Amino acid sequence: MKITQRDRLASSKRWVVKIGSSLLTAGGQGLDQRAISGWVDQIATLRNLGVEVVLVSSGAVAEGMSRLGLERRPSSIHELQAAAAVGQMGLVQAYETCFQRHQVHTAQILLTHEDLSDRKRYLNARSTMLSLLDMGVVPVVNENDTVVTDEVRFGDNDTLGALVANLIEADVLVILTDQSGMFDKDPREHNDAQLLDEVRANDPSLVAMATVGGGGLGCGGMATKVRSAILAARSGSFTVIAGGDEVNILLRVRASESVGTLMVPDQEPIAARKQWLAGHLQMKGRLELDDGAVRVLQDQGRSLLPVGIRLVEGEFRRGEVVECVDSAGRKVACGMVNYSADEARQIAGFVSDKIESILGYIDQEELIHRDNLVVF
């Protein structure tokens, strides 16, 4: 029996679920507690099925406006930030209360685009989020609207959801919206609009559909969702755009039902990530490997350990990409390092058990993990 792309959703292990403001707010009356409870119940069931879930939630500004009695969205950036700060309390309380019914802990994570563009902060955010998932916690992520200097926009969390999917190497990004999925034309204006069942995330025609006539998702922001799917595909993540108010929508996606629109990446996750490493990052330094390390990388596909390093050249930080060469200077690999240049020089030639005694701490046993390594 042929395995379809949707069948792969049933075996996926790590999801990012993004819920939009139009779903979370009850007609301008603040958060829709009943709807939130329903999504939490589904996420709890997903966790019981072995799926790790990170939740990206909008709604802070809308909830803040409701609590402050504001009938119109503020035009001042500082008033928007104030509304977001107030609303964030209600958003966190709502999720915490619902998840506690399932004896599931939650954690609030507020991010800005700067957090995901700076390599050190990026890796710290990644380590924290993965640690929370290992502990069985559901991270609830939102843009840190209280400190951003750009205009606070509800649609920004589509992009944030994709960046979080990249950050934690999620298998699936689910974007829940107020429409059934992505249409070939605006269903509000065209009775013959067709729901797209499965598309390639990088299909250029999707961008055209998203920008002509308001887009098939209308106020849900189709263009933003298409761009988010393209971003998520860079690390090999599937994206599903689906109607958040449909009964058990998350569980139906997991069961490989033909709901919403499935946007398929062009490459497998590891291949996509390694292509990104090989082609899009500047080399910040060089590691000269001994013959044994070269053989391990080329013949066994294993990680690069400090014991195999003969010489460290250049100045680089944790999370930057370096090239690996053999004793003759031939390039054999490149990858993202777990330690800075100074730290790498100190632990070079030593077994991993010595890292903590040398540096005073240990982050990873590997200098470069095999998932972050491209061998030539």
The whole-model pTM stands at: 0.74
pLDDT at position 342 is: 96
pLDDT given at position 284: 87
Assign a CATH topology to domain 6-269: Carbamate kinase (3.40.1160)
Would you list the domain boundaries of the chain? Answer: 6-269, 281-375
The pLDDT of residue 97: 96
Alpha helices in the chain (DSSP H): 21-24, 33-48, 60-68, 77-100, 113-117, 119-134, 156-168, 204-211, 222-233, 249-254, 269-280, 291-295, 341-347, 355-359
Q: What is the pLDDT of residue 338?
A: 92
Q: If you search the block for the tokens 């119109």, which residue do you land on? A: 72
Q: Are 183 and 25 in contact (CB under 8 A)?
A: no
Contacts of 79 (CB under 8 A, 6+ apart): none
Residue 122 confidence (pLDDT): 78
Give 10-residue mean pLDDT values along the chain (376 residues). 79 94 76 94 97 93 88 83 90 95 96 72 86 96 71 60 89 91 80 86 77 39 82 86 94 94 79 57 86 92 94 92 93 91 97 95 91 83
Second-level CATH architecture of 281-375: Roll (2.30)
